[in-house]
RNA sequence: GCCGAAGUGGCGGAACUGGUAGACGCGCUGGAUUCAAAAUCCAGUUCCUUCUGGGAGUGCGGGUUCGAUUCCCGCCUUCGGUACCA
């Protein structure tokens, strides 16, 4: 009998806070009532809070993935309670390699696996209780979505970058100019080496004209050296290669020349750089982008070549050191190498070129210390001294940067110094005080020597002077270079957006807009064809018949890279079902750009650059009013496994949120993830710690339930202390939420609940306020208690409580009294006292005598309401 | 090498503009309750110490200040980015 009673006791206690019942109840209600439907264009102020959408992998979510989602969800809910119309959507970056690799192995269509993974993700996300408006979901692999990705591609194809207006313009304006004046006057970012006048242009045949235009278009096809990954069977963008291996999979990458689509992101280097100044992103992330863009200001100088009509164009950031140039170095791939190589040196040079070619990117990276090179046998003429300076080739000069040639100043550049030192070339000092026996001096300070008319000038002034002289002589000009290369846009893959282009006479033409989307065709296998064509080469009837043309033409076989769909998805959420436009003007004008964007810092040189780039292009073309996609960016840190390692299947240390939710509930999971530490920081998961926040929720539950677990609040007017406890929390939580400091807001909740429990408070007014404060962090339990408090409308439609300063005003303050900066004791004094009165009270206090040791104090600092410090 | 961020108890972390270092939580110790356990509650918990007290203490060494985790200078360590970019 006794045990029987105990058994019931236990059941009752277990049911205390029945998170499972509460959470499933509200999940259903929220869904049925469309609680999280976002208002369309409204009178309210808008706020756009966005998470980086996930690639739905087969492994599902682990406990680290939702960290940022929880933070943005809390912020969204908090802002909604404060009267904003909040757009907080979610979707899937659903094209990508893993689904395709799986398809290759199993024959399963990637669309099927992707769909399964998405469903699994959705189930997991739904458990956590996010306030996403799922009616706005986007999937990049959905034809209704990628139709517009293809459309934007066509817009880029149909544009050129006008340096005079400093923006992208429609290609027709360029054609008009060609027809009027040729390209002589055009200031454009381009790769066209030909100069022609109007009549020449008109004389070109269609093919030639198209080829020339391709040199100007923002997206273009060209033969370029690319990162080819044989293992993945595709090319990779620079940001997808780390340390000479592929970021995904870690497979070797080699350089190969291929015909590829690229995007002229280089046209936007300066604006991408300048735009950073206007963004509220972390300094470290902005710095990563700055370095990646890699601006350097200098000059290009043409050197005559002894006995040769060509000139050698070099780029230097230190034109002032030109008198210290004792040799020239060309990249082994430089176009003049052949011509400049003398018969004597031919063998050595060829040997060297073969050697550098066979070295992989990786070897080259791992072996930067070894100095190597070969003399061509030719000499350049120094433009100011007329001296002959030998021309070498060496692989420390990169073909892809600047002009692929440098003037070597061994006293001013360590690489040149190493080279000169190794081959026994001269190293004359050109900056006063340089010890050339030790190494180069690359300081931009000091005074020039051995430099003719520059002698005695400071570096800064010498640069100005030499630029003037160079330009006067007509042998060069000021020039700015950027490290960032154009982005390769082709992937030899199946599971991506088809490029909406077809080929006629070897020239690419756009598919008509009305024929979009170009639907990804079915193929028998997801592998390259026998001829080494991409998988789309297996598709039947992969051709396009333009309107009014009786022929059909082969479509492009490459697909777009992973970053295509993610470069504009934030706009589609505003108007996901629009079939006429990528997004309507009205909606774009209301929602504008993202106010807060949450995601990992690993996308710094990839997605986050590309999505700024596309936004700027769409801005230039008049489609969007803003030219930066996200005003504020927060990089959430990683949650590591309990062992401090990365959470990964490989280490067997993955914690699944579903399990945590089963044992503690989603509210506990949410609170715990926030309580772990600052959002931007990496921090280890701690399963034990979740009991702390779970205990807190139980305490909160018991505040408003009696020992029989019956809901119980009183209607009494709260005391001053109770108001104080609540209003302290209103103030602090509001401040914390605004600055994404959710770990401290959780601790504020705990303090408030502890205080109110000490006060035995279950008064309606206080409980209601507290419940609203808690709601963004733990939506389920607060919704339940809100209902029990007698509200028929969801808590998400209520208002954040107003903070009233009066409840915090105190008449006394317990002063910490320090002697020589050490806190010794506390003394409670009225806040109304003047500094003098405080000083007198403190010195008159018996405890002070001990620390004064009979001496009289030198000085007493009184900061009213803060501290007293006595200097002895 | 260069650039950036960060170093606080046994652990995660707090201290927002220079003003009581260690909030809050985990863990640990002791106690109450219980036949017992779970759950819950109470007390303690930076280190040293000659313990109604005293001393040290926010990576290390200096400095500014009545007062420094916070500001300045120099170093060390960890993490991230980048890597012959002329």
pLDDT recorded at residue A361: 61
* H or E element at residue A121: helix A110-128
Q: Is residue A579 part of a domain?
A: no
Q: Is residue A66 part of a domain?
A: no
Q: Which nucleotide is nearest to A601 (CA to C1')?
A: B80
Q: Output the furthest CA–CA distance in chain A (Å, rounded).
A: 113
Which 8-state DSSP code applies to residue A521? P
DSSP A789-855: TT--S-GGGS-PPPP-GGGG--SEEEEEEEETTEEEEEEEEETT--HHHHHHHHHHSHHHHHHHTTP
Residues A278 and A312 reside in one and the same domain: no
Q: Is residue A75 part of a domain?
A: no
Distance CA A288, CA A580 (A): 38
Q: Which nucleotide is nearest to A394 (CA to C1')?
A: B84
| DSSP-based three-state secondary structure for A690 | helix
Residues A450 and A361 reside in one and the same domain: yes
Angle between the A283-293 and A607-620 helix axes, to the nearest 10 degrees? Answer: 70
Q: Is residue A174 part of a domain?
A: yes
Q: Is residue A570 part of a domain?
A: no
The answer to whether A75 touches A49, Cβ cutoff 8 Å, is yes
Residues forming beta bridges with residue A597, ordered by sequence position: A50, A633
User: In the structure, how far is the CA atom of residue A728 from the C1' atom of nucleotide B13, in angstroms?
Assistant: 21
pLDDT recorded at residue A836: 87
Distance CA A646, CA A624 (A): 40
DSSP A604-631: TTTHHHHHHHHHHHHHHTTS-S-S-SEE
User: In the structure, how far is the CA atom of residue A336 from the C1' atom of nucleotide B21, in angstroms?
Assistant: 68
Backbone angles phi, psi at A502, to 5 degrees: -130, 165
User: In the structure, how far is the CA atom of residue A777 from the C1' atom of nucleotide B44, in angstroms?
Assistant: 32
N-to-C CA span, chain A? 73
Residues A360 and A253 reside in one and the same domain: no
Q: Which nucleotides of B are covered by protein (CB under 7 A)?
A: 3-5, 11-16, 19-21, 23-27, 35-41, 54-56, 66-68, 79-86
> Which residue is the nearest neighbor of B6, CA to C1'?
A681
Q: Which nucleotide is nearest to A813 (CA to C1')?
A: B20
Residue A444 burial (CB count, 10 A): 13
Nearest to A95, CA basis, from A609, A497, A577:
A497
Counting residues of chain A whose pLDDT is more than 70, the rounded percentage is 97
- CA angle at residue A64 from A60 to A68, to 5 degrees? 105
How many CA atoms lie within 13 Å of A144's alpha carbon, on the beta-carbon side? 13
The answer to whether A761 touches A724, Cβ cutoff 8 Å, is no
The answer to whether A630 touches A593, Cβ cutoff 8 Å, is yes
What is the arithmetic mean of pLDDT over A655-660?
A: 93
The answer to whether A88 touches A598, Cβ cutoff 8 Å, is no
User: In the structure, how far is the CA atom of residue A670 from the C1' atom of nucleotide B29, in angstroms?
Assistant: 31
Residue A731 CA from chain centroid, whole number: 32
- CA angle at residue A86 from A82 to A92, to 5 degrees? 145
Which of A88 and A58 is assigned the larger pLDDT? A88
The answer to whether the Cα torsion of A489, A494, A496, A500 is positive or negative is: positive
Boundary-marking domain end, from A427, A453, A482: A482
Nearest to A724, CA basis, from A832, A800, A806, A814:
A806
User: In the structure, how far is the CA atom of residue A703 from the C1' atom of nucleotide B29, in angstroms?
Assistant: 29
Distance CA A723, CA A728 (A): 8
Q: Which nucleotide is nearest to A868 (CA to C1')?
A: B19
Q: Tens digits of per-residue pLDDT, A622-635?
A: 999 999 999 999 99
Whether residue A53 is preceded by a cis peptide bond, meaning omega within 30 degrees of 0, is no
pLDDT recorded at residue A362: 61
User: In the structure, how far is the CA atom of residue A127 from the C1' atom of nucleotide B8, in angstroms?
Assistant: 37
Tell me which of A274-278, A538-542, A644-648, A816-820 is least confident: A644-648
Residue A164 has pLDDT above 70, yes or no: yes
Q: Tens digits of per-residue pLDDT, A697-748?
A: 999 999 999 888 889 999 999 999 999 999 999 999 999 999 999 999 999 9
| DSSP-based three-state secondary structure for A360 | coil
DSSP A728-774: HHHHHHHHHHHTT-HHHHHHHHHHHHHHHHHTT--BHHHHHHHHHHH
Residues A334 and A440 reside in one and the same domain: yes
Boundary-marking domain end, from A554, A583, A608: A554
**pLDDT bucket at A1, cuts 50 / 70 / 90:** very low
Instruction: Please classify residue A803 by burial: count the beta carbons closer than 10 Å to its beta carbon, then call 0-12 exposed, 13-18 middle and 19+ buried.
Output: middle
Q: Is residue A356 part of a domain?
A: yes
> Which residue is the nearest neighbor of B81, CA to C1'?
A288
Residues A204 and A307 reside in one and the same domain: no
User: In the structure, how far is the CA atom of residue A860 from the C1' atom of nucleotide B65, in angstroms?
Assistant: 14
> Which residue is the nearest neighbor of B34, CA to C1'?
A6
User: In the structure, how far is the CA atom of residue A866 from the C1' atom of nucleotide B67, in angstroms?
Assistant: 12
Residues forming beta bridges with residue A256, ordered by sequence position: A226
DSSP A632-657: EEEE--PEEPTTSSPP-GGGT----H
User: In the structure, how far is the CA atom of residue A649 from the C1' atom of nucleotide B62, in angstroms?
Assistant: 49
Residues A458 and A323 reside in one and the same domain: yes
User: In the structure, how far is the CA atom of residue A682 from the C1' atom of nucleotide B7, in angstroms?
Assistant: 14
pLDDT recorded at residue A517: 95
Give me the domain span that covers residue A377. Answer: 295-482
Instruction: Please classify residue A692 by burial: count the beta carbons closer than 10 Å to its beta carbon, then call 0-12 exposed, 13-18 middle and 19+ buried.
Output: middle
Residues A437 and A312 reside in one and the same domain: yes
Q: Which nucleotide is nearest to A678 (CA to C1')?
A: B13
Distance CA A263, CA A171 (A): 15
Q: Which nucleotide is nearest to A731 (CA to C1')?
A: B16
User: In the structure, how far is the CA atom of residue A628 from the C1' atom of nucleotide B79, in angstroms?
Assistant: 30
Q: Which nucleotide is nearest to A290 (CA to C1')?
A: B3
User: In the structure, how far is the CA atom of residue A754 from the C1' atom of nucleotide B66, in angstroms?
Assistant: 37
* H or E element at residue A241: strand A241-242
Whole-number Cα distances in Å, A101 to A120, A247, A564, A752? 19, 15, 19, 52
Backbone angles phi, psi at A764, to 5 degrees: -45, -50
Which segments within A698-811 are labelled E, that is strand? none
Residue showing tokens 């264009």: A41
Residue A750 has pLDDT above 90, yes or no: yes
Distance CA A58, CA A118 (A): 9
Distance CA A614, CA A564 (A): 9
User: In the structure, how far is the CA atom of residue A36 from the C1' atom of nucleotide B14, in angstroms?
Assistant: 34
> Which residue is the nearest neighbor of B82, CA to C1'?
A291
> Which residue is the nearest neighbor of B38, CA to C1'?
A10
Residue A314 burial (CB count, 10 A): 27
Q: Tens digits of per-residue pLDDT, A134-158?
A: 999 999 999 999 999 999 999 999 9
Q: Which nucleotide is nearest to A861 (CA to C1')?
A: B66
CATH code at A852?
3.10.20.590
Q: Which nucleotide is nearest to A672 (CA to C1')?
A: B25
The answer to whether A726 touches A769, Cβ cutoff 8 Å, is yes
Distance CA A389, CA A406 (A): 12
| DSSP-based three-state secondary structure for A585 | helix
Distance CA A139, CA A53 (A): 9
Residues A717 and A798 reside in one and the same domain: yes
> Which residue is the nearest neighbor of B68, CA to C1'?
A821
pLDDT recorded at residue A254: 78
DSSP A66-118: HHHHHHHHHHHHHHHHTT-EEE----B----HHHHHHHHHH---HHHHHHHHH
Residues A166 and A267 reside in one and the same domain: yes
Q: Which nucleotide is nearest to A860 (CA to C1')?
A: B66
Which of A213 and A686 is assigned the larger pLDDT? A213
Residue A83 CA from chain centroid, whole number: 29
| Per-residue H/E/C for A309-347 | EEEEEEEECCHHHHHHCCEEEECCCCCCHHHHCCCCCHH
Q: Tens digits of per-residue pLDDT, A220-264?
A: 998 877 788 888 888 887 778 877 778 777 888 777 778 899 999
**pLDDT bucket at A321, cuts 50 / 70 / 90:** very high
Distance CA A416, CA A442 (A): 11
CATH code at A725?
1.10.730.10
**pLDDT bucket at A368, cuts 50 / 70 / 90:** low
> Which residue is the nearest neighbor of B79, CA to C1'?
A682
Q: What is the mean pLDDT of chain A?
A: 91
User: In the structure, how far is the CA atom of residue A2 from the C1' atom of nucleotide B38, in angstroms?
Assistant: 17
| DSSP-based three-state secondary structure for A257 | strand
Residues A735 and A837 reside in one and the same domain: no
Q: Is residue A759 part of a domain?
A: yes
The answer to whether A783 touches A767, Cβ cutoff 8 Å, is no
The answer to whether A797 touches A714, Cβ cutoff 8 Å, is no
Residue A814 has pLDDT above 90, yes or no: no
The answer to whether A664 touches A19, Cβ cutoff 8 Å, is yes
pLDDT recorded at residue A601: 87
Q: Tens digits of per-residue pLDDT, A430-474?
A: 998 888 888 888 888 889 999 999 999 999 899 999 999 999 999
User: In the structure, how far is the CA atom of residue A743 from the C1' atom of nucleotide B14, in angstroms?
Assistant: 9
Q: Which nucleotide is nearest to A407 (CA to C1')?
A: B86
Residues A453 and A476 reside in one and the same domain: yes
Q: Which nucleotide is nearest to A241 (CA to C1')?
A: B82
Residues A764 and A821 reside in one and the same domain: no
* H or E element at residue A726: helix A720-738
Boundary-marking domain end, from A530, A554, A578: A554
pLDDT recorded at residue A244: 73
pLDDT recorded at residue A440: 86
Residue showing tokens 């065709």: A521
Distance CA A191, CA A264 (A): 10
Q: Is residue A332 part of a domain?
A: yes
pLDDT recorded at residue A366: 64
Quote ipTM for the complex: 0.93
pLDDT recorded at residue A471: 94
User: In the structure, how far is the CA atom of residue A759 from the C1' atom of nucleotide B44, in angstroms?
Assistant: 23
Query: How many domains does chain A fold into?
Result: 4
The answer to whether A328 touches A414, Cβ cutoff 8 Å, is no
pLDDT recorded at residue A529: 86
Q: Which nucleotide is nearest to A369 (CA to C1')?
A: B84
- CA angle at residue A113 from A108 to A118, to 5 degrees? 170
Residue showing tokens 């677990």: A709
Residue showing tokens 């470069």: A567
Which two structure tokens, joined as six digits, stand for A728? Answer: 């302290």
């Amino acid at each position: 009998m006794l045990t029987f009673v105990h058994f019931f006791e236990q059941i009752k206690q277990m049911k205390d806070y029945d998170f499972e019942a509460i959470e499933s109840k509200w999940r259903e209600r929220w869904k049925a009532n469309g609680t999280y439907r976002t208002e369309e264009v409204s009178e309210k102020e808008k706020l756009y809070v966005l998470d980086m959408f996930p690639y739905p992998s087969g492994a599902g979510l682990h406990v680290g993935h939702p960290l940022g989602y929880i933070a943005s969800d809390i912020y969204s809910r908090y802002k909604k309670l404060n009267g904003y119309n909040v757009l907080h959507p979610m979707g899937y970056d659903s094209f990508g390699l893993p689904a395709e690799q799986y398809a290759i192995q199993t024959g399963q269509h990637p669309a099927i696996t992707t769909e399964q993974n998405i469903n699994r993700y959705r189930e997991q996300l739904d458990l956590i209780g996010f306030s996403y408006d799922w009616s706005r979901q986007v999937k990049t692999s959905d034809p209704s979505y990628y139709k517009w990705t293809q459309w934007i591609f066509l817009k880029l194809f149909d544009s050129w970058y006008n340096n005079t207006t400093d923006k992208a313009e429609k290609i027709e304006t360029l054609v008009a100019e060609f027809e009027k004046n040729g390209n002589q006057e055009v200031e454009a970012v381009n790769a066209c080496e030909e100069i022609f006048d109007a009549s020449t242009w008109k004389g070109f045949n269609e093919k030639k004209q198209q080829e020339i235009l391709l040199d100007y278009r923002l997206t273009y096809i060209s033969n370029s050296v690319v990162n080819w990954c044989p293992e993945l069977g595709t090319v990779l963008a620079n940001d997808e290669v780390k340390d000479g291996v592929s970021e995904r999979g870690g497979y070797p990458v080699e350089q190969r020349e291929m015909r590829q689509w690229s995007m002229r992101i280089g046209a936007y280097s300066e604006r991408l750089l300048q735009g950073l100044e206007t963004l509220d992103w972390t300094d470290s992330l902005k710095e990563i982008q700055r370095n990646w863009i890699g601006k350097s200001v200098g000059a290009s100088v043409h050197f005559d070549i002894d006995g040769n009509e060509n000139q050698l164009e070099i780029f230097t950031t230190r034109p002032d050191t030109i008198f210290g140039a004792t040799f020239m170095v060309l990249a082994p791939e430089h176009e003049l190498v052949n011509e400049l190589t003398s018969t004597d040196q031919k063998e050595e040079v060829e040997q060297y070129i073969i050697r550098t070619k066979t070295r992989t990117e990786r070897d080259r990276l791992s072996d930067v210390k070894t100095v190597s090179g070969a003399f061509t046998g030719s000499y350049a003429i120094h433009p100011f001294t007329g001296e002959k300076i030998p021309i070498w080739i060496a692989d420390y000069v990169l073909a892809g940067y600047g002009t692929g040639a440098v003037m070597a100043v061994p006293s001013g550049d360590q690489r040149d110094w190493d080279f000169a030192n190794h081959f026994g070339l001269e190293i004359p000092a050109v900056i006063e005080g340089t010890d050339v026996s030790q190494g180069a001096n690359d300081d931009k300070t000091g005074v020039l020597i051995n430099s003719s008319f520059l002698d005695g000038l400071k570096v800064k002034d010498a640069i100005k002077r030499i630029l003037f002289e160079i330009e006067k002589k007509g042998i060069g000009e000021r020039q700015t270079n950027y490290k960032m290369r154009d982005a390769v846009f082709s992937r030899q893959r199946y599971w991506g957006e088809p490029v909406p282009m077809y080929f006629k006479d070897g020239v690419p033409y756009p598919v008509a807009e009305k024929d979009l989307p170009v639907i990804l065709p079915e193929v028998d296998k997801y592998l390259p064809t026998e001829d080494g064509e991409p998988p789309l080469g297996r598709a039947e009837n992969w051709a396009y018949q333009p309107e009014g043309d009786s022929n059909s033409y082969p479509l492009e076989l490459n697909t777009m890279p992973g970053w295509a769909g993610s470069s504009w998805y934030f706009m589609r959420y505003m108007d996901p079902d629009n079939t006429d436009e990528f997004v309507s003007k009205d909606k774009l004008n209301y929602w504008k750009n993202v106010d807060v964007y949450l995601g990992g810092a690993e996308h710094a040189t990839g997605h986050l650059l590309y999505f700024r780039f596309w936004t700027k292009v769409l801005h230039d073309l008049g489609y969007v009013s803003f030219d930066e996609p996200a005003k504020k960016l927060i990089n959430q840190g990683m949650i590591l496994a309990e062992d401090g390692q990365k959470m990964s299947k490989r280490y067997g240390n993955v914690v699944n949120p579903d399990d945590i939710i089963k044992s503690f509930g989603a509210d506990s999971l949410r609170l715990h993830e926030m309580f772990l530490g600052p959002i931007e920081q990496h921090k280890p998961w701690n399963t034990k710690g979740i009991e702390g926040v779970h205990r807190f929720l139980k305490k909160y539950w018991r505040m408003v339930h009696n020992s029989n677990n019956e809901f119980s609040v009183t209607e009494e007017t709260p005391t001053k202390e109770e108001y104080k406890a609540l209003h302290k929390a209103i103030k602090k939580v509001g401040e914390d939420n605004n600055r994404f400091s959710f770990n401290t807001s959780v601790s504020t909740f705990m303090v408030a609940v502890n205080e109110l429990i000490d006060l035995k408070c279950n008064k309606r007014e206080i409980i209601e306020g507290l419940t609203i404060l808690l709601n963004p962090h733990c939506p389920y339990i607060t919704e339940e208690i809100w209902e029990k408090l007698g509200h028929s409308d969801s808590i998400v439609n209520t208002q954040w409580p107003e903070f009233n300063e009066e409840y915090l005003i105190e008449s006394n303050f317990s002063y910490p009294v320090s002697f020589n900066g050490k806190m010794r004791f506390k003394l409670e004094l009225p806040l109304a006292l003047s500094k003098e009165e405080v000083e007198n009270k403190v010195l008159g206090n018996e405890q002070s005598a001990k620390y004064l040791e009979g001496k009289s104090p030198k000085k007493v600092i009184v900061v009213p309401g803060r501290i007293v410090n006595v200097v002895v």
